Structure 1
Amino acid sequence: AGLQPLLTALLAGLSLGDRIEPRHWAGLALGFAGVLIVVAPTIGTLGSGVNVATLTASLIAVLGITLGTLWQKRFGAGVNLLTGTAWQYLGASVLMVLASHLFEHGHAIFNGELIFALVWLVLVLSVGAIFLLMHMIREGEVARVASLFYLVPVVTALMAWVLFDEKLSLLQIAGMMLASGGVALSTLGTKPAKLRAEPV
């Protein structure tokens, strides 16, 4: 996920004509370094789930969200947010229903934890977070929006510390501060200029 803001900024310049300032690149580099510091202790540990399959899936996800962000900015900026989001979820649900029938057993044990997880996934993530992401893509530059993804590992580590009593090392805390500083450097200040063709 740490590669997504860098890849988005690079492709935004090529496909959307966004001119990324040196300060923004510096912020992206700081954010990426901070994310590496935060997640490094979990890589390679027992139960971390890091293997060829998960890395491949992560790479596909990074490419998917990067290309989707650029597509949304270029072709979907004028679409109503509710309508556009609903159509995207409808298309995704067809694939997910098919995949669930092919690879899952279809049995679920409904309890408090499952219901809470479903409510969180549907209302907070699927509705709230994605709707907010679509709004930010429409109103701002995709490179700036993508830089906010550097805060995901930071917030996740903080939630794990609060909810599951996971330990945070001083190095990880430093990485969180570095990532947050990189996001601030990338998002605050003047608006990136748009490359425009000069009249002949």
Structure 2
Amino acid sequence: MTDRDTSALIRWMPAVFVLIWATGFIVARYGMPHAPPFTFLLIRYLLSIVCFGVWIAIARVRWPQTGMEWIHLGVTGALMHGGYLGGVWAAVKGGMGSGLSALIVGIQPVLTAIWLSATGTAMSRVSARQWLGLLLGFAGLVLVVWRKLTQGQAGDHVTLVNFSWAVFALLCITAGTLYQKRFVKPCDVRTANTVQLLAAALVTAPLALLEPEAFRWNAQSAGAMAWSVLGLTLGGSSLLYLLIQRGAAASVTSLMYLVPPTTAVMAWLLFGEPITLTTVIGIAVTAFGVALVVRPAAVSSLGR
């Protein structure tokens, strides 16, 4: 592969990541009615570990060499897989609508920027232009999910429990992203993801054992599981790991703003869910805001 091919691949990574990550709520719609959240996620982690293990054995990839590397990867795995996914799926299973859960988790870029500004982290400070982009991105996100928040759907309600799960997911993905950027050294994405998934499985297994509901295998749940393993974990999580290693934290997390609008478009294409003028405006505002945040990082980090 030439340097030009590599550069083009890197430029397309954010767009591919957003498209893959946005399918998470689509998968939940297909699979969640047939499975308890933590049991589904535990099976997903274990199947993903098997897939990565085969890939690693064939490619003879080098594993992390020190105990601290394993610990740091384990912490990020427990947060970004176990905590984030567990919180989101538990909130949706508890009756929270996808719009509200997406909005709560969508606060992540602003939360990340506030932390970076408060700590004054070198090479990660947020400029005035990026602050404007973050705020515009959040405003556009609110416009996209506003109809779902105000109109709601049957079974779409907020309780202290499901709201707490959603906030827990927000805190986990934010902390995991910052922790990985600060402590995890660049290493092979396949072995890194495997260590992270092992940690996620360890923290998820006790919760799965406490769930009284049985996993019902059928075409929908099997399809949701297959895409969760192959698309979301092997594809999406690997891309997220690479993006965090290559880009500034605020720029990478701002991509999360694009997930709810992309999901809205997918739901319109797949399920016929209406897209209003407000949704279109929200998508445009979000895209412009993300462009303001990502562009400086693209020159200094992703494009080199």
Superposition TM-score, scaled by structure 1 size: 0.89
Matches within 5 A, 1:82-161: 82-105=190-213, 107-161=214-268
Structure 1 residue 36 corresponds to structure 2 residue 158: no
Can you list the C-alpha shifts for 1:134-176, whole angstroms capped at 9, x where unaligned?
Answer: 0000011010000000011011101110111001110111011
Residues 146/167 of structure 1: CA separation in 2 closer, same or farther (3 Å cut): same
Structure 1 residue 3 corresponds to structure 2 residue 111: no
Q: Tell which has more relative contact order, 1 or 2 (C-alpha 8 A, sep 6+).
A: 1
- How far off is 1:15 after superposition? 6.4
Match of 2:116 among 12, 32, 51: 12
Can you list the C-alpha shifts for 1:98-154, whole angstroms capped at 9, x where unaligned?
Answer: 21111233x333222111100111111111111100000001101000000001101
Cα distance between partner residues in 1 of 2:135 and 2:167: 19
Alignment-derived partner of residue 167 in structure 1: 274
**Structure with higher helix content:** 2
Matches within 5 A, 1:57-72: 57-72=165-180
Alignment-derived partner of residue 197 in structure 1: none
Residues 140/31 of structure 1: CA separation in 2 closer, same or farther (3 Å cut): same
Alignment-derived partner of residue 293 in structure 2: 186
Matched-pair contact (CA < 8 Å) for 1:42–1:48: no
Superposition TM-score, scaled by structure 2 size: 0.60
Q: Secondary structure at the match of 1:108?
A: coil
Alignment-derived partner of residue 77 in structure 1: 185
Cα distance between partner residues in 1 of 2:226 and 2:292: 34
* Amino-acid identity (%): 36
Show structure 1 runs of 5+ residues with no match. Answer: 194-200
Cα distance between partner residues in 1 of 2:229 and 2:157: 25
Letter in 2 for 1:43: L
Alignment-derived partner of residue 8 in structure 2: none
C-alpha RMSD over aligned residues:
1.8
Letter in 2 for 1:95: V
Letter in 2 for 1:162: L
Letter in 1 for 2:146: A
Match of 1:52 among 136, 160, 179: 160
Matched-pair contact (CA < 8 Å) for 2:141–2:261: yes
Matched-pair contact (CA < 8 Å) for 2:139–2:286: yes
Q: How many residues align?
A: 192
- How far off is 1:49 after superposition? 3.4
Alignment-derived partner of residue 198 in structure 1: none
